Amino acid sequence: MDVDKKYFSNITSRERAIFEGAISMGALFHQFVGTPINKTTKKSLETSMEESLKLQPAIEDVKVDIQFEKLEESMTEFEYTSLTGDMLDVKIFTKVDNVRAIIRIEFIEELNYPLMYVEDIIES
């Protein structure tokens, strides 16, 4: 079965590139926020997040950076904390046909909010 023709023929490659990145970003946020984390597990959690999202359709690359200073601020006396949205700086790179999209989440200070947005669209 040609999944693209059957389920995505009603949208453009640009819309699909955004859709794939956005659905993956939402999954990342809601799956991993609340995960126990400390300075020792930071890198392995970043890698796990990246590798799991790369399995999704149209995802070319994922860059996860858990903000160390936010992690440090949240540490408890038990030497760990729970991952929160304000700790995340993530870029998901998608490609559908000749369109690449970068979907991002980062904490925006003036909004006091971890904002998910379309950072860039590149059509070749």
CATH number at residue 63: 3.30.1300.20
pLDDT at 20 over 90: yes
Q: What is the domain count for the chain? A: 1
By percentage, how much of the chain surpasses pLDDT 70? 99
Strand duo 81-82 + 88-96: pairing: unpaired
Given this model, what pLDDT does residue 3 score?
82
Whether this prediction's pTM lies above 0.85 is answered by yes
Which residue range is the domain that position 111 belongs to?
3-123
- The CA distance from 81 to 34, in Å, is 9
- pLDDT band at residue 94 using 50, 70 and 90 as cut-offs: very high
